[in-house]
Amino acid sequence: MRMIVFATNNENKLKEVKAMLPSDIRLVSLSDLHYNHTLTETADTLEENALQKARFVRQKFGYDCFADDTGLEVDVLDGEPGVYSARYAGEECDSYANVQKLLRNMSGATNRRAHFRTVIALILGDEEHVFEGVIHGQITHSMRGNRGFGYDPVFVPDKRTETLAEMTDTAKNSVSHRAQAVKKLVAFLMAVRRQMHQNARR
């Protein structure tokens, strides 16, 4: 069984990703490694933030690992909150405060278009790989639903009527930005495994 570290202590993210990985991949979180500190995100892009976190974990613990960074990019706000999505209302604020600030900043806006983007940075051996998932939709005028986390209660994907927070886990994982990026990650890991098996038979 291959062990791989997901560089997060976010139980919601961990649950989502675990549900999508093959059973022969053992997913380990930072808390499993007894590391409960918040990883630094000081870059200007989602890609660099994800790589920054993955490189830190690889250097500190020596395991194959991946990290993600996600941003909500709103058209009328010129792409905000973007890379600052998790700390939009301040470093010590929670998701509810972030969502309330977003709704205030969009008060009166008729253009509610936005998209979620997730970038996953994988370090496997000595190689780095990046995978991206994007979902387009609309920002609601108020919070709806009690599932999910982050901005899920105010984001309705295109061709859907429910917010991400109103969807079941299965429904969300069929369309979400993170799910798209994770599917690309899983496909890559499966291809690596097939190649290893082929090489072992030669």
Residues labelled catalytic? 69
Using omega within 30 degrees of 0 as the cis cutoff, is the peptide bond preceding 157 cis?
A: no
3 state DSSP class of 32: helix
Contacts of 111 (CB under 8 A, 6+ apart): 75, 76
Distances (CA, A) of 35 to 31, 32, 59, 77, 185: 5, 7, 14, 36, 24
CB 158 within 8 Å of CB 104: no
CB 85 within 8 Å of CB 123: no
DSSP E strands: which ranges in 75-158?
81-82, 113-124, 127-139, 155-157
Contacts of 44 (CB under 8 A, 6+ apart): 83
Amino acid 24 reads: D
